[in-house]
């Protein structure tokens, strides 16, 4: 379902002549709704007798909400983009409100020592399926360019079917019993008030600001490619799949490093790379360069996203894990909402770089990510006992580059010894 939808909502809106501001709203408003949904999730889920009893009906509603979305071109003749924003917002509420509960259940199922490897493998499988069906969707849209509404109808209808299949497999999952929980919960407000004074709280603030700075530019790569670079749907799909394919290839790579060196080390390492991604778009609009940038992006975000998700599992107290995950998600979605909203409002007003407002917001996004990392990352510490591993080993070990660098160093040392012997 993700492969058929996540890269194609903005192109769907562009067929309805969505403006730059509307593209920003298409990302920001659903993220605001997801933020509010996260805050309601713990209280709603606690009224259910089981976590699956909460997750399954929500998953069913999420699938069904795509039916009005795919019918918008046929049943709405006016205000189509507004209708799309409204239905997508309702869909994302159902998609996100069960996330803290699902995260709590998965944290009980997977031991802390193997979370990196497990979620690396899981995300690699999910990423492979998503990538394959992203290609399928792009191919369908390319074939039906002359009747693009029919193309989106087919793609989104298939997404509904696959979401229903996923609900079936959620039903088949084993649900561990709830841990013995203290009758006294820390409220979301209580956690929020102490965020700046706790390690996990500072991480939650950091994550919200990173996704704010990321989404300043995030919604606008698609219109930049389709409108200014004039990519067709097939080229657009290839560019997006370059990032997805790289993410897929490096999930287990980062998972092993998270288990070995700790998630904070992986986050700090990838934060050396993440700010570079949007800035690199300023160098060239050449298709080959952009594919290379997407490969770099996939490598960086694979590690950052995986390690961030695992850290919140590790750092959250078990009794209130659902609340901490909910607050983490709320800050992430809230940051994404504000970033997209601000980006959509200011991008048309910015001075142009190479005759493009989009390139200016890409530069601002990269600088903002850099500032957040420099200011906040030093205040976040690892919660597991892990050995100290250098950034160079984190990045290059397993790629063969450490052996090459070691061989080069050895050769240099041998040359120095020979020179010293020749001197009188």
pLDDT at 399: 55
Task: Match 């909910």 to its residue by tokens.
Answer: 326
CA 167, CA 64: separation in Å to the nearest integer? 12
At 352 the pLDDT is 93
Residue 271 DSSP code:
T
Mean pLDDT of 337-350: 89
**pLDDT at position 407 over 60:** no
- The span from the CA of 218 to the CA of 369, in Å, is 12
Mean pLDDT (whole number) for 356-383? 94
Count of beta carbons in the 10 Å neighbourhood of residue 344: 24
Q: State yes or no: pLDDT of 187 exceeds 80.
A: no
The residues near 194 (Cβ < 8 Å, ≥ 6 apart) are 201
CA distance 311 to 268: 12
The whole-chain average pLDDT of the chain stands at 86
pLDDT over threshold 90, residue 216: yes
User: Is the domain defined by 2-175+187-397 classed in CATH 1.20.1260.60?
Assistant: no
Cβ distance 121 to 255 under 8 Å?
yes
pLDDT of residue 22: 87
Higher pLDDT, 372 or 317: 372
At 402, the pLDDT band (50, 70, 90 cuts) reads: very low
> Considering the chain, what percentage of its residues have pLDDT values greater than 90?
43
pLDDT of residue 299: 94
The pLDDT value recorded for residue 183 is 47
Residue boundaries of the structural domains of the chain: 2-175+187-397
Residue 172's Cβ-count burial label (10 Å; 0-12, 13-18, 19+) is exposed
Which pLDDT band holds residue 180 (cuts at 50, 70, 90)? low
Pick 290 or 47 by higher pLDDT.
Answer: 290
Residues in the chain: 424
CB 252 within 8 A of CB 120: yes
* Cα(298)–Cα(291) distance, integer angstroms: 10
Q: What pLDDT shows up at residue 177?
A: 77
Q: What is the pLDDT of residue 60?
A: 94
Residues 239-294 pLDDT 10s:
988 888 898 888 888 988 888 889 999 999 999 999 999 999 999 999 999 999 99
Over the Cα atoms of the chain, what is R_g? 23
Residue with token string 């690396």 = 120
- Is the pLDDT at 99 greater than 80? The verdict is yes
d(CA 358, CA 160): 33
Tell me what pLDDT residue 403 has: 45
Task: Using alpha carbons, select from 320, 46, 37, 334 the residue that is nearest to residue 191.
Answer: 320
pLDDT band at 334 (very low <50, low <70, confident <90, very high): confident
Residue 30: partners with Cβ closer than 8 Å, 6 or more residues away:
85, 88, 89, 91, 92
Residue 184 confidence (pLDDT): 55
**What kind and span of H or E run contains 163?**
helix 148-172
| Residue scoring higher pLDDT (300 or 415) | 300
Least confident residue range of 242-251, 301-310, 353-362: 242-251
Place 401 in a pLDDT band, splitting at 50, 70 and 90: very low
Q: What's the pLDDT at 418?
A: 53
Res 417: pLDDT: 59
pLDDT number for residue 137: 92
Q: Which segment of 57-66, 120-129, 373-382, 414-423 scores lowest on mean pLDDT?
A: 414-423
């Amino acid at each position: 379902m993700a492969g058929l939808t996540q890269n194609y909502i903005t192109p769907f809106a562009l067929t309805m002549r969505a403006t730059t501001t509307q593209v920003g709203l298409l990302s920001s408003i659903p993220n605001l709704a997801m933020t509010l949904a996260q805050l309601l999730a713990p209280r709603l889920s606690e009224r259910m007798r089981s976590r699956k009893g909460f997750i399954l009906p929500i998953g069913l509603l999420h699938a069904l909400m795509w039916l009005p979305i795919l019918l918008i071109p046929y049943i709405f003749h006016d205000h189509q983009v507004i209708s799309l924003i409204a239905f997508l917002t309702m869909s994302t509420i159902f998609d996100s409100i069960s996330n803290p509960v699902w995260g709590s259940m998965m944290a009980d199922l997977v031991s802390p020592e193997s979370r990196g490897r497990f979620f690396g493998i899981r995300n690699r499988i999910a990423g492979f399926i998503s990538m394959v069906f992203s290609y399928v969707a792009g191919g369908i849209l390319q074939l039906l360019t002359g009747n693009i509404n029919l193309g989106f109808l087919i793609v989104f209808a298939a997404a509904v079917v696959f979401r229903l299949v996923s609900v079936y497999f959620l039903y088949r999952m084993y649900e561990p019993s709830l841990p013995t929980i203290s009758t006294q919960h820390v409220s979301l407000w209580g956690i929020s008030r102490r965020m700046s004074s706790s390690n996990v709280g500072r991480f939650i603030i950091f994550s919200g600001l990173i996704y704010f700075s990321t989404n300043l530019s995030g919604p606008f790569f698609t219109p930049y490619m389709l409108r200014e670079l004039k990519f067709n749907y097939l080229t657009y799909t290839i560019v997006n799949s370059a990032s997805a394919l790289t993410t897929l290839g490096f999930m287990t790579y980062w998972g092993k490093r998270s288990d070995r060196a700790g998630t904070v080390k992986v986050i700090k390492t990838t934060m050396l790379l993440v700010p570079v991604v949007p800035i690199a778009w300023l160098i060239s609009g050449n298709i080959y360069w952009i594919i290379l940038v997407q490969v770099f992006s996939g490598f960086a975000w694979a590690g950052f996203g995986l390690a961030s998700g695992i850290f919140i599992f590790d750092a959250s107290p078990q009794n209130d894990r659902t609340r901490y995950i909910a607050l983490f998600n709320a800050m992430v979605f809230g940051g994404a909402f504000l970033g997209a909203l601000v980006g959509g409002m200011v991008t048309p007003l910015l001075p142009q770089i190479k005759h493009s407002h989009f390139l200016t917001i890409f530069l601002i996004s990269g600088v903002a990510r850099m500032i957040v990392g420099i200011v906040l990352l030093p205040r976040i510490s690892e919660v597991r006992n892990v050995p100290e591993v250098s950034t160079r080993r984190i990045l290059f070990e397993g790629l063969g580059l450490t052996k090459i660098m070691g061989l080069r160093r050895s050769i240099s040392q041998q040359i120095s010894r020979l020179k010293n012997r020749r001197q009188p």
